[in-house]
Amino acid sequence: MWTLIAKALLAGAMIAAIAEIGKRLPAMAALVASLPLVSILGMIFLWHARPDMENMARHSEATFWFVLPSLPMFLLIPWLMRSGVGFWLALAAGCALTIVLYLLMAHFGPRLGIRL
């Protein structure tokens, strides 16, 4: 139970740090947010729980393929906001696009030989 609490506190601290940095240095906050810190920590915790080379390799590879469908969201949101769409609607549209692209990746990825 303490391990779960520690993981949650660490994730919360990372999000809080990004938000605080973003108040003064938006580009620096974006850089920190773009670092694969969550993925790295997830891999460390997964390795600690199940030290299996093949499992870790599959996890890492699947993470790569699932990052790709999330990237267009970071172009759609600023484009919509600059076009006059409000933040919340732009965010919702970006999330909706990401969900659709995730579903497409999950459906077509294995058909294209991508191991997810």
For residues 29 and 61, membership in a common domain is answered with: no
User: Domain range for residue 87?
Assistant: 51-116
**Chain center to CA of 31:** 13
Instruction: Please tell me the predicted confidence (pLDDT) of residue 7.
Output: 84
The answer to whether position 45 is within a domain reads: no
Instruction: Please tell me the predicted confidence (pLDDT) of residue 100.
Output: 98
For residues 65 and 104, membership in a common domain is answered with: yes
Question: What are φ and ψ of residue 114, in 5° steps?
Answer: -90, 125
Q: Distance between the two ends of the chain, CA-based, in angstroms? A: 29
Per-residue pLDDT of the chain (116 residues; tens, 9 = 90+): 888 898 889 889 999 999 999 999 999 999 988 889 889 988 998 999 999 999 999 999 999 999 999 999 999 999 999 999 999 999 999 999 999 999 999 999 999 999 88
